[in-house]
Chains A and B, each alone.
Chain A
Amino acid sequence: MNYWPLLGILLVVIGFALRLNPMLVVTVAALATGLLAGLDLNEVISTFGKAFNDNRIIAIVWIVLPVIGLLERFGLQQRAAAVIRGMRNATTGRLLLLYLAYRQVTAAIGLHSTAGHPQTVRPLVAPMAIAAAEKQHGALDPVTSDKVKSYAAATDNVGLFFGEDIFFAIGSIVLIQQTLLTYGYNLAPLQLALWAIPTAIAAFLIHGGRVLILDRSLRGVGR
């Protein structure tokens, strides 16, 4: 077997670890992997270009930016923060716990594209989490404020990943079903989706516990 293509992976790991520009790292790794696998330069560039073109669907999500930017222009982030300041019992942890539950439940019923980092985290969840943290202990230093924002983004990811597989018509369920079918195991999508529930509960408990611990550490910073 030709093990040389693994050098491409090594390049990626080293490049990311040294924090080189990821666009360059990825391009160099792609060219190296293709060449090491025995393609000529022309074929490598064509394969890379075709794959990029085939994945243009990824770029479509950016069409929400003009709407989000316009909403920010008219004070949506400030409004989100004001709502949180008006709630006596709001804390960063409780807010993120609620968002985690919302994200898991909506993803589980197939509504995974109704929220996300550009659509909900930047304009709503992050400013709300920051406002709640400021209420708990006054102005935040940049490190703490970045930490709160990171937790907001992390909560979106965890909620999405460990909610969506409960929905039986999602791509990953179809992939599992098709893969196992090639070995002669014909499973119903619903059967697979049900086995996603134990992990979903564990994810809620683990990540939910962590956002509540974040609250405690924020109170600690305040004193």
Chain B
Amino acid sequence: MITLQWLYMLAGAMFGAFAALSATDRSNAKRLGNAAFWGLMAASLLAGDLIGDFGNGLLVLTLAALAGFGWIGRGSPPTTSEAEREGYSARFGNRLFLPALIIPATALLGTLLYNYTPLGGLGLFQEKRETYVLLGLGVLLALLTMFLWLRPPALAPLQEGRRLIDSIGWAAVLPQMLAALGVLFAAAGVGEIIGGMTQSVIPEGSIFLAVTVFGLGMAGFTMIMGNAFAAFPVMAAAIGVPLLIRDFGGDPAVVGAIGMLAGFCGTLMTPMAANFNLVPAALLELQDQYGVIKAQLATAIPLLVVNILLIYFLAFP
């Protein structure tokens, strides 16, 4: 059976190659920092289960120090020039889109085949993780196709991958750090504290104000945690279930479903949701790391208002 462990091995090997290629990149004055940073990511993926919790903790602290004190830079792996790329684009035409579609097509067809034919019964992939396994499969298929068709130099995929990961930099690791911070927040009881504080600001007897505090609480606590999943159980326990559903008789399906979506409006407005907001800013090489959040504010705020109104009108007809 193909499990997540296989994918950790694949990703770990890739980060290991990034580290080795970084170490020899003389164009980058901080090359040893890059090699250490990507090397530690490789170690985490390859051996995270072997080095113990404290070992993992030290690994994370080292990653944070390397990134936080500016010890990682940006390499310049060999790639093609703008003019060469225009040439390839004219020469290969729209066929260039085909390898780009291999990854989504593998994920789509694979998921359908796996879930709706007897193939799924064979237990080829770890349960509920088939999308990730198919993502890995799609990557390998796309690489194979491009090697057969375009014949790039053997190291090109790793060098091009390193070009991209260096442009993203430490932001590539930040989402995982924030997830770990969320675990510490939870262990410290932040959820109960916020839930209690929200409960205490609700005025008696007004359905509309209770719905508003619930919606704003979902969005606000999501902004703090970076994740609506962490906010939902807290807000459900503080307001959603005891007040909206039990006292005021609201429809639990509406309160639950649209309450979660009010949280998603918070996700659009917070740097804590790094993989949606900060990573794309790095990936698209924006000057302003908060550029994506700024582009989302004018969608998120009106949509939050809409969600609050939807809960009020749909859950309490």
Q: Which residues in A have their C-beta under 8 angstroms from that of B189?
A: 1-2, 5, 37
Instruction: Answer yes or no: B207 CB below 8 A from chain A CBs.
Output: no
Residue of B nearest to A78 (CB): B89
Instruction: Answer yes or no: B7 CB below 8 A from chain A CBs.
Output: yes
Instruction: Answer yes or no: B267 CB below 8 A from chain A CBs.
Output: yes
Instruction: Answer yes or no: B209 CB below 8 A from chain A CBs.
Output: no
Q: Which of A50, A63, A72 contacts B85 (CB 8 A)?
A: A72
- CB-CB contacts below 8 Å: A25-79 with B: 26-27, 29-30, 33-34, 36-37, 39, 42, 44-79
Cα of A93 to Cα of B88 in the assembled complex, Å: 28
Is A21 within 8 A of B67, CB to CB? yes
Task: Mark contacts of A5-16 with chain B using CB atoms, 8 A cut-off: 1 yes-contact digit, 0 otherwise.
Answer: 110110010001
Is A45 within 8 A of B253, CB to CB? no
Q: Which of A6, A27, A191 contacts B61 (CB 8 A)?
A: A27
A89 smallest CB distance to B (angstroms): 19
Residue of A nearest to B13 (CB): A63
Is A49 within 8 A of B59, CB to CB? yes
Instruction: Answer yes or no: A139 CB below 8 A from chain B CBs.
Output: no
Is A195 within 8 A of B254, CB to CB? yes
Is B94 within 8 A of A153, CB to CB? no
- Asked, given contacts A37-B189, A53-B44, whether A62 binds B275 with beta carbons under 8 Å apart, the answer is no
Instruction: Answer yes or no: A117 CB below 8 A from chain B CBs.
Output: yes
Q: Which residues in A have their C-beta under 8 angstroms from that of B257?
A: 165, 173, 176, 192-196
Q: Which residues in B have their C-beta under 8 angstroms from that of A72?
A: 79, 85, 160
Q: Which residues in B have their C-beta under 8 angstroms from that of A60?
A: 4, 7-8, 11, 132, 135-136
Cα of A183 to Cα of B245 in the assembled complex, Å: 10
Q: Which of B10, B185, B287 contacts A63 (CB 8 A)?
A: B10
Cα of A58 to Cα of B150 in the assembled complex, Å: 31
Instruction: Answer yes or no: B73 CB below 8 A from chain A CBs.
Output: no
Residue of B nearest to A166 (CB): B257
Is B146 within 8 A of A76, CB to CB? no
Is A121 within 8 A of B190, CB to CB? no
Could you tell me the dominant secondary structure of chain B's interface residues? helix
Is A121 within 8 A of B284, CB to CB? yes
Instruction: Answer yes or no: B57 CB below 8 A from chain A CBs.
Output: yes
Q: Which residues in A have their C-beta under 8 angstroms from that of B79?
A: 69, 72-73
Residue of A nearest to B100 (CB): A71
Is B54 within 8 A of A45, CB to CB? yes
Residue of B nearest to A9 (CB): B224
Cα of A146 to Cα of B256 in the assembled complex, Å: 37
Cα of A195 to Cα of B307 in the assembled complex, Å: 11
A23 smallest CB distance to B (angstroms): 4
Instruction: Answer yes or no: B205 CB below 8 A from chain A CBs.
Output: no
Cα of A89 to Cα of B306 in the assembled complex, Å: 32
Is A70 within 8 A of B146, CB to CB? yes
Q: Which residues in B have their C-beta under 8 angstroms from that of A36?
A: 188
Q: Which residues in B have their C-beta under 8 angstroms from that of A111?
A: 104, 107-108, 111
Q: Which residues in A have their C-beta under 8 angstroms from that of B279?
A: 117
Residue picked from A74, A162, A171, most chain B C-beta under 10 Å: A74
Q: Which residues in A have their C-beta under 8 angstroms from that of B93?
A: 79
- Asked, given contacts A79-B96, A199-B258, whether A121 binds B280 with beta carbons under 8 Å apart, the answer is yes
Is B108 within 8 A of A114, CB to CB? yes
Instruction: Answer yes or no: A147 CB below 8 A from chain B CBs.
Output: yes
Cα of A60 to Cα of B32 in the assembled complex, Å: 24
Cα of A58 to Cα of B178 in the assembled complex, Å: 11
Residue of A nearest to B253 (CB): A191
Q: Which of B96, B295, B302 contacts A150 (CB 8 A)?
A: B295
B91 smallest CB distance to A (angstroms): 8
- CB-CB contacts below 8 Å: A106-126 with B: 110-111, 113-115, 117-124, 126
Q: Which residues in B have their C-beta under 8 angstroms from that of A115?
A: 104
Cα of A67 to Cα of B192 in the assembled complex, Å: 44
A-B contacts, 11 listed (Cβ < 8 Å): A21-B68, A23-B68, A30-B184, A33-B190, A60-B136, A65-B165, A66-B158, A68-B161, A74-B96, A156-B280, A179-B256
